[in-house]
A and B are shown apart, each in its own frame.
Chain A
Amino acid sequence: MKILTFFSLFSTFLSANSINVEENAGQFFSSGHTNNWAVLVCTSRFWFNYRHVANTLSVYRSVKRLGIPDSHIVLMLADDMACNHRNPKPATVFSHKNMELNVYGDDVEVDYRGYEVTVENFLRVLTGRLPPSTPRSKRLLSDDRSNILIYLTGHGGNGFLKFQDSEEISNVELADAFEQMWQKRRYNELLFIIDTCQGASMYERFYSPNLMALASSQVGEDSLSHQPDLAIGVHLMDRYTFYLLEFLEDIHPASKANMKDLFKVCPKSQCVSTPGHRTDLFLRDPGSALITDFFGSVRKVEITMETINLTDLIKEAEQNPMNEKPQKVTYSYVDQLPVSEIIHQKPKQKDWHPPDGFILGLWTLILLVFFKTYGIKHLKHIF
C-alpha cells in the first residue's frame, strides 16, 4: 500500500516537471526586440515655447543618427517655429546659442503638425485605433517585438501634461494607454522620457510590464530652460534635454552604454531640478539594457564570406485550361488580435513557485495518511 502511494506520488511529480521543461525551453528562445520605433511629441505652441520644439527636434536628430528611419518615427510638433513670423532666421530651429546647431535642416519629416497634435491623436497613435484612411507615416505600426521610445515635452503639472494650451492628458490616461498597448501586444519594451515641470508625476501610475521611465524633475519642482539666445530672443533648450543630447552625442551605433548611464544624465548641480526614473516595471536589469536598444535601430548582423547557391529553379505555375472555371479560393485575414490565445496564455512568472503537480501530490499524500490513520469510516464526516 505504501509503495503504491509512493509510486503515484512520484509519477505525478515527474509529469509536473516535464511540463516545466517545455516551458523553460520556450522561455529560453523568446527574448529581445527586432525593430525600433520612436514617438516624439512637442505639446506647446506659441513663439515663447520655442525651446520645446527645439527639444523634440534634437531628440529626433539623435534618434535618426543612431539608425531609426523616418518611417519608424512619429514626430508630432504642435507649432511651426521655423516658419514663425517672429523667427529672425526663417527655416531654422537652433538648439545651441550663437546658432551653432540647426536641428531643423532640410530632411525633417513632421507627421503630426500644428493643431493635429491633440490628446486624442496621441492616444490613437499609441493604441493603433486610427481611421482606415490614415496614412502609414502617421501610424505606429509596432508589433510585440518592437522597442518603442516615447519622448514628451511641454508644460506640465502634477499629474498632467498640457497640450496646445487647451487640453491636458493625465497620468492615468497615459498609463491606461500603455496597458492597452501591452494587451494588444504593441511593444516589447518601452522607454518613456518626459521633460516638463513635475514630470515624475506622469509615470507614477504606470502598471504595465516592460516600461522604463525617465523624467526631468520631481513632483513640486520646475524644469528649467537652459540658455537664451539674444538674437532670436527666446530660450533655446531645456536643461534636461540639453544634457541628454550631450550624452547622446557620445553614443554611436556600436556603443555598449546602458541605461544606468542614462540615469546619471543631468544631476541636480546642472539641472537644478532632480531628474527621476522608474524601473520597477522593467523585467530586465536596467544595466543590461543598452542605450541603442531604444535610441537606435541596431540589427544583429552576422557577416559571412561564404557564397550560397540558390540551386532550385523556380517552377512556373501550370497554365489553367481556358474552359475551366476559375477556382474560387476564399481568403481570410489572420486574426490581428488573437483573443483566445491571449486569454489562455500564462503570464510570465517572476518568482519561482513549486509546480502544480507537486502540490497536488502533496495533498493527496496528506489525505491518504489521514485516512490511513483514522480509518475510512471518518470519510463521511468530511463529505
Chain B
Amino acid sequence: MFNRNVENVRLIDTVTSRRASVGTLYLTATHTIFVENETEILTETWVLHSLVFSVEKQASTTTGCPLLVRCKNFQVLQFVIPQERDCHDVHVSLLHLSRPEHYEELYCFSYNANSDREDRRKAWDFINLKAEYSRMGLPNHLWKLTPANHHYKVSDTYPADLYVPKSATPPVIMGSSKFRSRGRFPTLSYYYKENHAAICRSSQPLSGFSARCLEDEQMLEAIVRSNPRSDFMYVVDTRPKLNAMANRAAGKGYENEDNYSNIKFHFVGIENIHVMRNSLQKMLEVSEAHFPSMSYFLEGLESSGWLKHIKAVVDAGVFITKAIAEEGISVLVHCSDGWDRTAQVCSVASVLLDPYYRTLKGLMVLIERDWVSFGHKFSHRNNHLNGDPKEVSPVIDQFLECVWQLSEQFPCAFEYNERFLITIHHHVYSCQYGNFIGNNQKERTELGLQEKTHSLWTYLWKNRTDYINPLYRPDHSQTQGVLRPLTAPYCFKFWGALYNRFDRGIHPRQSVMEYLMAIREETQQLEEQLASHEMKILNVEKQQKKSVNLETNMFDRSPAVWASPPSNSSVGLANTPGDYSGLGGFLKSPYQQKEPENSLLILPWPQELRKPTDPDLSTNGDDQESGIAGLSCLSPPNEESAKDPDSDETAYSAA
C-alpha cells in the first residue's frame, strides 16, 4: 500500500480560490493528513478515509496535478500535487482506502478512545431500549413483548424484541409476517400513554392485485382493539400513490380498505431513495457554486426539490401527530420495506409528540429505536463499504434536517443544539463509532460491535455541555406537550450550517448560541463563586473572634477568570471582506495574503500527531470556535488581534 508523504502539495481554498497553502500530504491507514509548512503555527487538516465520498483526479496543469476530494460531511478539498505520478499514487491509494470491502477494515475497529474493556461494555448500556419501552409504559394490559423474533427467525432485519397487541397470537404474527416484505410485520414504534393511541410500523403487504391474508387482517384488527377508545385506525403509506400501485404488479402493494375492517388508508407521497439522492446532489451543486447570484441560488434550491422533500416528511409527521394526539387514533406506517421513509415519519412524529425526544438522551434513544434497532440500512445508505451506489441515500440526513427545521421554529423547545445534530450526522458517516455499522441488529450482533467498538452516545453524553441549547426551557409552554409546527413553505430554510459547514465565510460571524453557552458557563462559575464568597464571609464572621487566617485557599480560581463578562467578541470577529468587487480580488489589499484558514482543522502543533482527535469539534464553525477560545482565555483583545482581524492563529495561540 502507498504509505508515504508527498511534499510541496498545495491545498486550494475552494471557497475563495484566492489563496493556497503549501505543505506535506501524508496518507496513513486511517487518515489523510495535510500539514501546512509555511506558517509559523503549524496547521493541519485531517480527513478520515471513511468520510471520503469521491476522489477525482483532474487534468494536470503547469503547476501540478489537481486532486479533488469530496467528503460525506460536505467538506471539499482540492490538492495540487506537483508530480503527476505522485498524484496518481495518492488517487489510487485514497480510492482504495476510502472504499473498504469488509466491515473489519472500518475505522471503529481500530479506533481506541482510551478506555478499558469494562468501561466500553458499560458504555454500550447507556442507551437501553427496554428502559425506553417501559418509559412509554410498556408492556401493559394492551401491549406485550413478543419473543417471536428471537434469533431473528421471523424477520432478519427486525430487532429481537418487539411489542405487539396483547391479542396478537403467535400464529397471527407468523401469518402476518409472511404477508409482508422481508417479514416485517406490524409492530409498535411509539405508544402515547395519554390516550393509548400508538404508532405502529411495518413493510408493505404482499397484496398484489387481489391477494389477502387473514392473519394480517387480524393483526391490524388487534392494533385497532388495543386502542380502546377508537374503533378504527389509519394506515399511512408514505409512498406516492403511483409508486405504491406500481408495486402491486410485483406482488406487493398496499392494503385494500375493503379487506381490512376499520382502517382508513392514506398516502403521503414521500419520494424514494433515488429521488432523494439526486435531489441532494443537485442542492450541493448549488451550494458549492462560487459567488452565485441570489437568483441562481434560489432557482437552484427550488429545482433541487430538497426542501419540498423535507416538507413532505414533516407534513407526514404532523398528520400522524394529529391522528394520535388530537383524534386518539392509532396509525400504522409503512413504505416499501419499512426502513427508510417509515423510519423518518415515525421518528418525526415521535419528536412532535413527546418532549422526551427533544432532549439529548431522548434523541439518542429515538435514533437507537426507530433507526438502529428497526434495521435502517446504515451501511448501505451511508456508503460505509464499497457497495452499490444506488443503495446510497440521505435518509437519516433528512430526519436530522427535519429536527433542525423544527428547532428553528421552536428555539426554546429542544435541549440539544444544531451542533448536536451536525455531530450525529458526521458520525453516521465517519465509522469512528460502532453504532451505525451494519444494516440491522442481526448483522451488528454477529460483528460483535459492542465488544470491539465504542459507542457514540457515551462520547456525546460526556461532552454534552457542547450540545446543550442555552435557550432550552423545559418548563416553557413551547416545550411541553405536543409541538404543532407551521408547515407553510416559508418555514423551510436551507441548512447552511450543515451543507456549507466548511464554507466558513457563509455562516454568521458571531454566534448567539456560543455566546449564551459561554454566559451560562460563566453564570455557573459565578454562582459557585458567589456561594464560596458567601461561605467565606460567613466563616470570616464566625471566626472573627478566633484567628482569621485559616482559609486562604477556599477557592483557587483566579479572579481574572470570571471578573469580566465575555468581552472578546472581537476575537470571534475574525473575518475579512467578501469579494464585493465581483472582480475576484481587484483591490490590492495588503491583508489579502493573510486570509483565515478556510475549512481546516487547526490545532496547535505537537498534540495532534499523538491521537487522531475528533475532527468534528475542531471544524464545526471555526469562527465560533475562536470566539470561545477568546472567552476561555479571557484576556482583552490585544493590539495585534484588533489590528489584524484576519488571523485566527492569534486567537488559537492565545488559547
Asked if A pairs with B, the answer is no
